Amino acid sequence: MDDKEEELNRGRRTFLKAMIVLSAGVAVAGVLKGAVTNIITPLVGISSFPTMELVGADGKPLLYSDIPVNTPTTWLFYYPLTNDPNFLLNLGDASGNPVNVPSYDVPIPATGSTYKFNGGVGPKGSVVAYSAICQHLGCIPPEIHYYPPTQTVPGTSFSGSSNPGYIHCSCHGSTYDPLKGAKVITGPTSRPLPNVQLKYNSSTGTFSAYSMVGPTIYGKVSDLSGGTPYASSATTVTVTNTGIP
Amino acid sequence: MVEESKIKKMIRNEFGEDPLKIDQLPLKRVPDYMRGKGGILYWTGAMISIAFVYQVVTGLFLLLYYNPADAYASTEYIINNVPYGALISATHLYGAYAMIVLIYVHMYRNYFHGAYKKPRQIQWITGILLLAITLGVGFFGYSMPGDVLAYDATDVGRGIAQSSPVIGNILVAIVFGNGTTTGLFQRMLGWHIILAALIGLIFGLHFYLAESNSIMPSLKEAKYRAPAIDKEKPEYKKWYPYNFAFMIQLGMMVVGLIILIPSIIALLPSVPSLFSPFPSVSPSSPLALYVPAYPPWFLLFVYKAVDFFDFTGSLAPLNAYGGLIASTVFGVIPLLYFVFVPFIDRSNDLHPLSRPIITSFGILGIIYMAILSAWGALTPGVPIPPMEVLAVLVPPFVVVVGGMIILSRLYRNGKLNVTSQKLIASFVIFLLILTFSMISFAENISAFLYHTSVLNVITTFFTGGVTVFAAVGTMKSADYYTDMERNSPKVTKQRKGMSVNAAVISSAVLVIISIAILVLIAGLNPITQSMVFGVGLGTDLILAGIVLRIYRMTFYNE
């Protein structure tokens, strides 16, 4: 074998080696594509917000008179999916009278934009509902908690007249104002709590949840996915008084 | 020479010499000093492997009962209804803690000795990889009981993952599933096991490289120069039975402690929630309100760092990325530094003082982790303004880097002349200072965190500085002393084994005690008293280790 031929062979050999690497690379890429796609869990969810009537633990429609003013214990319902807790609050003043909650343009400090909070519903316009997952790092009740007016919020300077009724998260100290669409009062959160839009039927005296506004529920890609949906036939959602003061 | 026993003769006649081919195992023989006094630091890797094996075994037991569809209830069932379930779950938790602590000891020991240098670069990198994966397994394991702490930890983890740019949502779907509760715990169980298997795999490579590169000899032996290789010498004792006995002894001791420590802690009247061997309350319990949202203690430092990135004013939108920034700055970047340190520090110097900057970074790593963890435990989730962060983090930096550079100068000029008496004295002094300054520093820092005043800042500065100085001093003097003692000529080959009679009596006594303990604990109720059983079991294992130690001391002269 002369030198030239050897050189040529060496070139071919390198080429063949490159082909081995390339073909193996292609095969591995295929395997990776399959494996990575497989481990991304498919999202489950629903395509639009359901309208669901709020019912009590006994299955009977929840009436305004059932919800105590200033809601001293935590009332929760899960909407729009079965693992999205929300506070149901009947807001009042320091002397225990319900207050009419006006609509408000809620700012989102994280993006600088605002969205419209429609205000309270019910005969006194005092019933509101907010996501009960803190927008900072996802703490849930009882760590995130509603403190009725004048109650001392632990770990903060809010007490007496400086607490008009705040939602506060004891995990990292975020505070929200439910009277103003749960806008941010103190950080570290940079997003207000998402608002569950409620409808009041004055002829039957019942409430139903029909949509949500504000930031996406914490930890989710969209409000409508990332959890187990209710049965498609379900038209009611149970509100539970957890009894936690 | 004593005549060979009949059984041994029979075995030899039947199966031939070395029937299990133990002498052909590709395991390196090691010099005596590695098995001697102070030699334990050569076996930190072995201790991690023992803890890992313990984790695999107990983990498989737990797998028989754990139900991801009902995580909290099944965990409570294991603890309250399964015989010895409480013991297995508590020691599985503490086995993980032991693994993590030992990994840090192993890593820093090798870091300060320059073990990452030629020829062990790849071995070092696989080691850092193992650290990262172990923390990951720990995170998933900590989240699996489904108690309030688990939910807090997963929520924080999910938030940090989701705030990653571009791939955030995909990352969440991969790591935490699609948001359903069963899906979440199914995933975490899956990842917990998959990553543990990955540890086994990478550990195989790490161990193979460790054997091939040989255990790193003492720095003196290596003349403080890389490559530090322990060339097998003819006078080294065989792996079997000498090292084998040592490994069994070490295994008994490590497993004994892993069982004993949580068992004792479980019997204490009150334990801080960070170190409780059992899960906290269910997330829906009213008591959950009073449980501070702690991550596992080994991630507390990152958790505290999240509080450093509490932006205000026009920077407030960045708060959504606080967790991501914190875990990058205090988690990913240090990890990357450790991965690349073999290529950053390319010199052949192995002495910690000839590498002042590298050594200071290691010391700072320990100090920052300790400060941030303590800070996180004292004031979980309290935002810290940037100036206070700097006030706490900058002084140690200045003291350590400055101090190391000065020490390194002295060392290079040969002015660092130390005797063992001076070293012992300075060690004791440093230790005393360290103890007092730590306490006053802790007090000052918590006062300072609740109420910032100039006085608080100054005292925190001062006590912090003193603490750091004392910590460095304690460590250094201890390090020098063991080095010195090992290498001082009068100590070597002088120690005699125990007298045979003493050995016979003491091991017989220990065996009688351990049998008595076994009889006592065997009668206990396996469901309600399993932690008391654990105290006895741990003690018995340690006693077995001690008996083996006595044998080695007497007949192997070790």
Q: Are residues B116 and B254 in the same domain?
A: yes
Q: What is the distance between the alpha carbons of residues B194 and B178, in angstroms, rounded to a whole number?
A: 19
- Are A137 and B178 inside 8 Å of each other by CB? no
Nearest C-alpha in A relative to B160: A137
Q: Are residues B157 and B256 in the same domain?
A: yes
User: Phi first, then psi: what are they for B433, rounded to 5°?
Assistant: -60, -45
Among B383, B405, B439, the domain-final residue is B383
- Are A137 and B180 inside 8 Å of each other by CB? no
Distance in Å, alpha carbon of B288 to nearest chain A alpha carbon: 6
Q: Are residues B248 and B357 in the same domain?
A: no
| Residues in B touching A83 (Cβ below 8 Å) | 179-181
Burial B515-537 (b: 16+ CB within 10 A, else e): eebeeebeeeeeeebbbbbbbbb
Q: How confident is the model at residue B493 (pLDDT cuts 50, 70, 90)?
A: very low
Chain-centre distance for alpha carbon B503:
33
**Containing H/E element for B97?**
helix B85-112
Q: Are residues B335 and B214 in the same domain?
A: no
Q: Are residues B262 and B355 in the same domain?
A: no
- Are A187 and B181 inside 8 Å of each other by CB? no
Cβ atoms < 10 Å from Cβ of A21: 10
Q: What is the mean pLDDT of residues B30-47?
A: 88
pLDDT tens-digit readout, B117-155: 989 999 999 999 999 999 999 999 999 999 988 888 888
Q: Are residues B252 and B358 in the same domain?
A: no
B139 within some domain:
yes
Q: Are residues B32 and B154 in the same domain?
A: yes
Mean pLDDT is lowest, of A211-225, B39-53, B267-281, B487-501, for: B487-501
Q: Are residues B366 and B280 in the same domain?
A: no
Q: Is the dihedral of CA B422, B425, B428, B432 positive or negative?
A: negative
Q: Is the pLDDT of residue B213 over 60?
A: yes
**B104-111, long-range: CB < 8 A, 24+ apart:** B104/B131, B105/B44, B106/B44, B106/B45, B106/B48, B107/B131, B107/B338, B108/B362, B108/B365, B108/B366, B109/B41, B109/B44, B110/B216, B111/B338, B111/B341, B111/B358, B111/B362
Q: What is the distance between the alpha carbons of residues B395 and B414, in angstroms, rounded to a whole number?
A: 28
Q: What is the mean pLDDT of residues B384-407?
A: 85
Which of A8-17, B104-113, B417-426, B488-497 has maximum average pLDDT?
B104-113
Distance in Å, alpha carbon of A11 to nearest chain B alpha carbon: 32
**How many contacts does A have with B, using Cβ atoms within 8 A?**
118
**pLDDT at site B525:** 92
Q: What is the mean pLDDT of residues A127-147?
A: 88
Distance in Å, alpha carbon of B274 to nearest chain A alpha carbon: 15
By residue range, what is the domain housing residue B199? 28-227+238-288
CATH number at residue B138: 1.20.810.10
> Given CB atoms, is A228 within the 8 Å cutoff of chain B?
yes
Q: What is the distance between the alpha carbons of residues B419 and B426, in angstroms, rounded to a whole number?
A: 11
Q: Are residues B306 and B268 in the same domain?
A: no
Q: Are A86 and A130 in contact (CB under 8 A)?
A: yes
Helices (H), B281-419: 300-306, 322-327, 333-344, 356-378, 386-412
Number of domains in chain B: 2
| Residues in A touching B306 (Cβ below 8 Å) | 137
Nearest C-alpha in A relative to B450: A155
**Containing H/E element for A146?**
strand A144-147
Distance in Å, alpha carbon of B385 to nearest chain A alpha carbon: 12
Q: Are residues B319 and B252 in the same domain?
A: no
The two three-digit tokens of residue B262, written as one number: 């949580």
Which positions ≥6 away from B160 have C-beta within 8 Å? B323, B324, B327
Beta pairing class for A175-177 and A127-131: unpaired
B532 within some domain:
no
Residue B57: name the closest of B19, B31, B95, B26 by CA: B95
Q: Are A121 and A198 in contact (CB under 8 A)?
A: yes
Q: Are residues B279 and B326 in the same domain?
A: no
> Given CB atoms, is B173 within the 8 Å cutoff of chain A?
yes
Strand partners, A76: A87, A240
**pLDDT at site B197:** 97
Which positions ≥6 away from A213 have C-beta within 8 Å? A115, A116, A117, A118, A194, A195, A197
Q: Are residues B279 and B307 in the same domain?
A: no
**Containing H/E element for A90?**
strand A85-90
Of B156, B317, B381, Cβ closest to residue A111: B317
pLDDT tens-digit readout, B298-334: 888 888 888 888 776 667 667 778 788 888 999 999 9
Q: Are B323 and B196 in contact (CB under 8 A)?
A: no
